Structure formats: structure tokens, C-alpha cells
A and B are shown apart, each in its own frame.
Chain A
């Protein structure tokens, strides 16, 4: 099983993540889509490190991303909480203040 298979999984995951971000009606799912994209990136890091590298850089980046994702999730959930306070809703289509 070569690199292509990993990359295919990564692409699929990335695509699913994007679709999740774009289509979901709940902001929590959007956050989950973001997590999926991050994990797709992690798969890429690890896969490239496994097949093309000779050190631990890719794996270290993957771990770094996981930590960042955890922090980001905490911040994002806090933001969601505040958004819910402000808009009384967590539907992404209701949150259109960026238009202003």
C-alpha cells in the first residue's frame, strides 16, 4: 500500500470536512468540519513523513496540529457560546454580521 492510498483518504477526509463546513446548519458541525480538515492535513504530514522523509518532522507537526486543534476547539466553543448569546441561534446562516 503506497502513498497514494493515504493521500486518497486525506483528500476524502478534506472534502468531507469542506462539505461539512459549507452545508451544515449547525455551527458545531462547522467546527467539526474544521477538525476534519485539520486531521486530513495531519494524515498528509504523517504520510509524507513515512514515505519521503527520514526524520520525525512530519509526525512532530501532526502532534503540534493536534494540540493547536485542541486549543482552537476550546476558543471556538467559547466564541460559539458568545455567538449564541448574541444571536440566540447557532445557525451559520443567521450569523451575517460580517456583511456590515
Chain B
């Protein structure tokens, strides 16, 4: 079936359904039967069907880049819309962008969100803010869908911020529950997530401002073209301001996708309900940062990409080491997410092929990480909210379905062949090698060392999780006795997502191409199909050719298979066979282990530098406020008071004195005259006579 432009009308439905569901749910949810959980869940089901239908149609049809906006006669959503004559610079018109990357991402968001909704029906059933939870998670999904479909950076930013808000509300979901034992932690975690990502958001805003200043547009398509022109005009080199702007834009990704050093919010975000963690870690939020990198890739200069690779590699390796020391089942997954995000970011930094590999990993990761989190949620639910792996063990027989789903996804994240994670991770390592082969750069060379090591650690700590949780003897009889399999909405979600986790990288049953020389994603989503008309080769001077050679591929495959096998073997050796005592290893490592266990003291460092610093600044400002500014204000007040007192004195003494003096004089005269007013007629007469005599004497004498 050919992909018709009419199909794109469905995109509006994809956007509107969650929004309408949210509005209905937030206002009416409380009064609906089952507290309205079916409304967002049903809405998400429709959205999932629409996105998958559109994706399958899109992927099998010709063409493959759709951009609908006012210019092409599509629907206009004016935003700051002015006629061109009035304000030429201020024309922001929202449009829909549906390209191969957007199509894949939209389907991922649709599918994962629906199953998270379905899972929540079981998982959250005893929550007393059940309806609010569904409303929020629905709007969260809406924000991500909107972000994927936006055709301009400003709208991406709007949805980006909406997502930040929703993550804040959802991570802090339990902070509103008076029965929750972890109210304070939840409140602190959501605040931390919000504030930390805010740092990145501010960077992103700066970056947007820099690019808007030069390009006067937020449209991705126009920005790409203008970037190409700008590079060509600068003699094939990126102008310095684009490097600066690119770094700022990347700052947004660092915040949202939890890259070093702004990753600190993500482990704390575990305080939220597990379905929320699954959403944040898989389809939304952290994926948004990587997705943004995919959208702005042509704007990034080689220098920025170097930084991207370096940050990504550091994040991947360092989060993986922490993952080995964490005992909280969700904590392990949280650090694994940070590590995998590091993989994606590093891959995108290595250039054209890596870009595709990184985005591919974002898609595969979304499924298996969602499944892993929901499985962890199922385990926690089954163990009555026990999250410490040291108290679990032997749960395999109690929770067979959960175990099956989690095991499949663990194989996927560890990078075992046939599982989706293998195809994407393999390509990431391949792209790192290939780009270094093409042109040596320090950051890429570091990535070649860091990424396989991180992959080995990933396999190790994920299997450590599996062995500690599901195998061996139960460590805590109490927990084990009460453990039970979860209700059907949860297990169904798990198994479906696990199936995706298995096959989404490559449905190898069809062509038997087990090693994944060709996968649907890399065939369909390429630099050329994502940025039509943009020649990345010319711009980034980085290997973007799709077939640089099978050498790198075979080499990468060898590496990734070896490291995965090694990691799994070590986990099995230590935690299942118990041939090596973990405590002996930790004591041998000594200080190193303690440092890693304490997450490299980054929280403490941030606490000591940023938070203490801002507290110190705040105190200093308070001091200035209280002593200097208040001093001035008080001085001003005192001066005015003194002036007022002088005025009062003048008023009281001089003005009143004059007035009173007038009266007093009159009174004095009156009191003198009163002496003559005796009422005795005879006196009057005598006075009159005397006066007459005086007047006569006066007349006579003068």
C-alpha cells in the first residue's frame, strides 16, 4: 500500500487522543468506573495501533520524508505568528515532521507507552491517587509524541519542558501519598530531577537562541539547509559560533539524557512508581535527549561531536562500574540506563554511521529497558515492595513469566546475538572503530576502549542481577514465601515487550541473517533519508559512508561477542557458582571499590560544590540583603523620619505658633477689654464722659 498524504492526518489523531484522554481523566477520572484507568489505556491502545499501522505503511513505501507545515498547505498552528511584512523574524509555525526516524520513534513511544499503561493497571491498583497517576502518565506520553512529531526546535523545547514537568510530577507521585514510607525521598528525588534537568534545559535554550540569532528560524529542515550553507560559506569549516551553539544544544541532551555530570537525577528518579521509571528510562524523557541529537545532528561541528563522544564514553563506562556495586534492583537498572545512554550518545558523536547506530540502540533499548523495568516492578510487586536484591533469590520458580521476560531482555541488553541489543550495540562499536580508522581522533579512540569495557560490565552486572534475584537459594525466607506471580495485565505487558526486545533489532526468522548485516532500521533510517538534501560528508568530514568495510564489522562483532560472553561468564562464576567470593574481591579492590560504591562521590561533589556553593551564594546574598541593602533602605527611612520630625517641629512650633499667637493676641485684647464690660450703665456713662472730655481736650489743645 502506498503511503498517502492522507495518512498524515492520522498524526493529528495520534497527538490529540492522549491530550483529550488526559483532560477527561484529570477532571472526570475520579468519578468514572474503575477510576478511569481504561480511558488513557484505551486511548494509548488506539495510539499504538495508529502509530504501528503508519509505521508499517511508511516503512514499506517509497519516499519517506514528510514535512507538513503551512508552506505546503498543511494545517497551520500559528504560534507567535505574524504576517511576514510586520515581523519577518518572528514567524514560528508549528508543523508535523514525519521522517523515518520520527516514524520509528513514534511507534516505539506508542507501543511502550501502551504496555506501561497496561502494566500500571495491575501495579498501581492499590494506589490512592490512581486516577491522577493515569492522567499524568498519559500527558507524559503526549509530550513525548509531540516532541517526536514537532518540525521545529521551539516546539520540541515546549514539549521537552512539558516532559520535564510531568517527570517531576510522576517521580514525586508518592510524595503526595500520606501512607508512603518514603514521602521525603520522593519529594527530594523529583525536585532533584527537575532542578538537574533544568541546567540542561537552560543550555538548550541558550543554544536555540544562538542558532535563532543567525538562522532566524526554528524549522529543522531550514536549519539543516542553512547550516550547510553556513559551512560552505566558511570554506567547509564550521563557524565558531556554531560550535558554541552546538555545545549548548548538546547541554540539553546531557541534562535530559542523564549524561555525565548531570546524570545524578536518574538514579534518584527510582523513587517514582516503577511504571514511571520504565517510561522515563525507555520511551520518553531520556530518549528525548538522544532523539534531539538525531534532529540537530547536521548543526553539530566536529569539535562538538568530539565532546559528544567523550561525554558519552565516560558516561557509559563510569555508570557501568557503578552498576556492578548497586544492590537495589531498580538501582542496577538505573545505572544500566545511564550507561546505555552513554553508548547512544557516544555513537552519535562518532558520525554518520554511528548516528544511525546510536538511534537504533535508542529504539531497541526502549523495548528491553521498558521490559526490564516492568519486570523489576513485577518482582518488587511480588515481593511486597522489597527492592534489595540481597534479600531475593530463587524467585525463578515463583515468578516464571517474569523471569522469562527479564531473562530475554537481559540477554538483549548484554548483547547476545539474535537479541535486539546485539544488533545495535554491535553497530555502535563498529562505528567507533570505523570512524577511527577513517580519521584518527582522540575521543573516538577512547570510545573504542571504553565502550567494549562498558559492554562487558553491562553483561556482568545484568547477569549479577539475574543470578541474585532468580537463581540460587532464597536468602530471605519471609520474602520468598510471600512472593507470587503478578496479575495478567502485568505479565502480558512483560511478555509482549520481551518479544519486542527479542525481535525489534532484526526479525531474523525471515531471512536467517543472524549477524545482522542488514537490519530494517539501518536500511531505512540513514543519514540521507533523515536529512534529505544535506551532505553530511561534506559538513562533518566524518565517515558517513554506509559500506566502509566488513573489516570493522567483523572486528566489532568479535569484540562485542567476546566481552558479552566474558561478562556473563564472570557473573555466573562469581554469583552462581560462587567460585569467587564477591566480598574478597571488594576487599582486594579496597578504596577503589568504596569509591565506585559511593558513585564516585559525584553526588557529594555536587553537594559540596554546586549546592554548597549556591547555598553560600544565597547566604552571602542574604547577608548583603540584610546588611547593605536593608541598611540603605533603613537609612533612607531614618533620613525621612528625621526630615519628617523636622517638618513636624516646624509645623508644630512655627506654623501652629503663628496661628495660636493670632488667637492669643485676640484673647489678650479681649480679656483686657472685658474689664470694661461690667454691665453697669453708670460706668459706661462715666467712661463715655471721660472719653468725650478727652476728645474735647484734644480738640481744644491741638
A-to-B contact residues, CB < 8 Å: 18, 21-23, 30, 92-93, 95-100
Contact = CB atoms under 8 A, between A and B. Distances in A.
Nearest to B684: A98
Contacts of B678: 96, 99
Q: 8 shortest A-B CB distances, which residue pairs?
A: A99-B679, A96-B679, A98-B679, A22-B686, A92-B682, A22-B682, A21-B685, A18-B689
Contacts of B682: 21-23, 30, 92-93
A98 B681 contact: yes
A21 B682 CA distance: 6
Interface in B659-695: 677-682, 684-686, 689
Given A96-B680, A98-B680, A98-B681, 16 more contacts: A18-B685, A21-B682, A22-B682, A23-B682, A30-B681, A92-B680, A92-B681, A93-B680, A93-B682, A95-B681, A96-B678, A98-B679, A99-B677, A99-B678, A99-B679, A100-B679
Contacts of A18: 685, 689
A18 B686 CA distance: 8
Nearest to A34: B685
Contacts of A95: 679-681
Nearest to A93: B680
B297 to A, nearest CB: 110
> Would you call the interface of chain A mostly helix, strand, loop, or mixed?
helix
Contacts of B677: 99
A2 B679 CA distance: 42
Contacts of A100: 679
Q: Interface range on chain B: under 10, 10 to 19, 20 to 34, or 35 or more? A: 10 to 19
A99 B677 CA distance: 6
Contacts of B681: 30, 92, 95, 98
Contacts of B680: 92-93, 95-96, 98-99
B334 to A, nearest CB: 104
> Would you call the interface of chain B mostly helix, strand, loop, or mixed?
helix
Interface of B: 677-682, 684-686, 689
A30 B685 CA distance: 11
Nearest to A96: B679
Contacts of B685: 18, 21-22
A60 B681 CA distance: 31
Contacts of B689: 18, 22
Nearest to B681: A92
Q: Residue among B677, B682, B686 with the most chain A CB within 10 A?
A: B682
B686 A97 contact: no
A37 to B, nearest CB: 10
Nearest to B687: A22
Contacts of A98: 679-681, 684
A99 B682 CA distance: 13
Nearest to A92: B682
19 contacts: A18-B685, A21-B682, A21-B685, A22-B682, A22-B685, A23-B682, A93-B680, A93-B682, A95-B679, A95-B680, A95-B681, A96-B679, A96-B680, A97-B679, A98-B679, A98-B684, A99-B677, A99-B678, A99-B679
Contacts of A96: 678-680
B264 to A, nearest CB: 98
A97 B681 CA distance: 10
A84 B686 CA distance: 23
B674 to A, nearest CB: 9
A2 to B, nearest CB: 21
A91 to B, nearest CB: 10
A30 B684 CA distance: 13
A18 B682 CA distance: 10
B693 to A, nearest CB: 10
A55 to B, nearest CB: 29
A34 to B, nearest CB: 10
A97 B680 CA distance: 8
A21 B687 CA distance: 12
Contacts of A93: 680, 682
A8 B217 CA distance: 126
Contacts of A23: 682
B118 to A, nearest CB: 107
A96 B680 CA distance: 5
Contacts of B684: 98
A94 to B, nearest CB: 9
A30 B681 CA distance: 10
A23 B680 CA distance: 12
A22 B679 CA distance: 14
A23 B686 CA distance: 9
Nearest to B674: A99
A49 to B, nearest CB: 23
A99 to B, nearest CB: 3
A89 to B, nearest CB: 13
A22 B684 CA distance: 9
A21 B689 CA distance: 11
